[in-house]
Amino acid sequence: MKRIYDFSRKPAKRNYTISDLQDLKITGQKLSMANPLNAGEIRVGMLLEHKNDLWQVLKTQHVKPGKGGAFAQVEMKSVNKNTKLNERFRSSESVEKAEVDEKKFNFLYIDGENCHFMDNETFEQVEIAKSIAGEKQKLLKENLEVTISFMEDKPISIHLPNNIECIIESTDAAIKNQTASSSYKPALLDCGIKIDVPPFIAVSYTHLTLPTKRIV
Could you report the per-residue pLDDT of 60-114, keeping only the tens digit for each? 998 988 888 899 999 998 887 878 999 999 988 888 888 788 899 999 999 989 9
Sequence-distant (6+) residues with CB within 8 A of 63 are 70, 71, 72, 73
Range of the domain at 139: 101-161
The tally of domains found in the chain comes to 3
Residue 208 lies in a domain: yes
Q: Where among 79, 97, 115 does a domain terminate?
A: 97
Instruction: Please check whether residues 91 and 107 belong to one and the same domain.
Output: no
Residues 88 and 109 in one domain: no
Residue 13 counted as domain residue: no
**DSSP helix/strand/coil, 162:** coil
Domain-terminating residue out of 56, 78, 97? 97
Q: Is residue 11 part of a domain?
A: no
Residue 3 lies in a domain: no
> DSSP alpha helices (H): ranges in 104-184?
130-133
Q: Is the pLDDT of residue 152 over 90?
A: no
Q: What is the pLDDT of residues 167-204, one digit of tens each?
A: 888 888 766 665 555 578 888 888 888 888 888 777 76
Q: Do residues 91 and 62 touch, judged by C-beta distance below 8 A?
A: yes
Share of residues in the chain with pLDDT > 90 (%)? 20
Q: Are residues 43 and 108 in the same domain?
A: no
Beta bridge partners of 105: 146
Residue-wise pLDDT for 26-38, tens only, equals 665 544 555 678 8
